[in-house]
Amino acid sequence: METAMQRTFDYVIAGAGSAGCVLANRLSEGTGAPHVALLEAGGPDTAPEIRIPFAFHELFKTEYDWNYTTTPQKELCGRELYWPRGKTLGGSSSLNAQMWIRGHRADFDGWAESCPGWSYDVVAPYFRRAERRAGSNADGVYGSSGPLWISELRSPSPVTRAFLRAAEDLGLTRSGELNQPDNTGFFATPVTQRRGRRWSTADAYLRPALSRANLHLVTTAHVQRVLLDGTRAIGVEYRDTDGQIRRVGARREVILSAGSIGSPQLLMLSGIGDTAHLRHIGITVRCALPGVGRNLQDHLAVGVYRHCPRPVTAAVGADSVLSLLRYYLAKRGKLTSNIGEAVSFIRSDPGLSAPDLELAFAPLPYIDHGFGSPATHGISIGAVLMLPKSSGRITLASPDAAVSPVIDPHYLEDQADLDTLIVNVRLAERLLNTNALRLYAGAPMDPYPGPVGDDELGKYIRAHSQTLYHPVGTCRMGTDDNAVVDPWLRVRGVHGLRVVDASVMPRITRGHVHAPTVMIAERAADFIRDTEAAG
């Protein structure tokens, strides 16, 4: 036994984000359920901006955000990119744009090639288990009785409807409902909202469970490392709100749900990772796993911005007295917008079996995470690098958990990624020139230069692309020697330790990653209960 524990539970979960809230609920439910401790580094999710869908970017660089920054990116003009990540109950589901996009069948069937048991047909019921669809549900695609409300936007912009008509005018095909197995097409975005209010995983999963005597939640509890007895995880060490170090024990398992940055950081701080790197930082190696922190993937996006000659877009007037009254009295109007109101998933070649391009539409100029957005009418189309060939790495900067790790995504280091973004921007430009959008798409808006040659467009992409907030893959699951966790999400070489969050994804999805993260946690809860039942 490495150290004495203040308290001991059956399960200790590090991180009350998209995955941690799911696990806390599922593991603590039922008669005779085990005792669960849920530790969250941030505080309660009390900011009013968390509830208001349109206001999510107001939470960036506040106490609710980890406020990460990448290393200078060689292929992005040496820029350090800002990466917001949720630091509160609900994690990034309390700060995101609420877009519920499962991904394509090919994503999960691709996972199953190296991770048995993760094919689309296997995971689809776990999406439905989470979902409570409000609105259209063609062919019963969505679940109808889950805890997470999936809704249509209550007050979509007229320009968003024009974007959807423009996609149709351009001849883009449509497979039906966005979250069917094939997500090819153009769609109004389903959102995690309940009657116009954000519905995070803290709302959906955690709050209904907090009255259970067997669930113990601790906020402002920054986990420092996993405690090991030989090759078995026996608990965690965390720093509380007063700066004191405390320890809690785990009789059965420790579960890391700290996300694609926090989970590999915690493994490495605990001596689990690449031997050479850990020794360089001054950490004793407890389990050599060279894949920890590697395989970092993200969706990079670049905006195509146009002035809007008509005063109908979402940016202007969202903070007016009338907009505030409409929201607080009826939960309608501009403040119910999630900003990313529509998406299109496109096959650049009709011969492809799945889409390889994404365009995301916003009925306002969403520039530099909202910090650079002018108070004028405009529209944005985000051209998204959906299947990056480049991948990066998370490493430690210090053995101190308070020091942010080193984030190096290696954006655009494969030339094919830049070529793909150029193709995608050209498609966005064609959409903006359709008859459907002509009334709303005026002159180019800075910093977008307007139609230019490929060389100039490449320079624009390098100078202005940003994260779409989807880091995954840094604790990759698989069956090979470089995998960090096995297909049951157990850390290889360590007993009683799992990782359950977006970091376990072997490959980024053709969509956005919140829905797959919730699905992973729902599936992991079954894995854990099966292990418990087997003794």
State whether the Cα torsion 276-277-280-285 is positive or negative.
Answer: negative
CB 24 within 8 A of CB 523: no
What are phi and psi for residue 181, nearest 5 degrees? -55, -35
CB 50 within 8 A of CB 198: yes
Widest distance between CA atoms in the chain:
71
Which 3 state secondary structure label does DSSP give 167? helix
In angstroms, the CA 126 to CA 157 distance is: 32
Amino acid at 101: I
Amino acid at 431: L
Tell me 230's DSSP state: T
Of 364, 363, 344, the closest CA to residue 355 belongs to 344
Which 3 state secondary structure label does DSSP give 306? strand
In angstroms, the CA 107 to CA 508 distance is: 8
Of 126, 205, 181, the closest CA to residue 523 belongs to 126
In angstroms, the CA 235 to CA 221 distance is: 14
User: Tokens 């506040």 — which residue?
Assistant: 62
Q: What is the torsion angle, in degrees rounded to the nearest 10, for the CA atoms of residue 470, residue 475, residue 480 and residue 481?
A: 140
Q: Which residues are catalytic?
A: 470
- Strand-pair partners of 38: 13, 217
What are phi and psi for residue 266, nearest 5 degrees? -65, -40
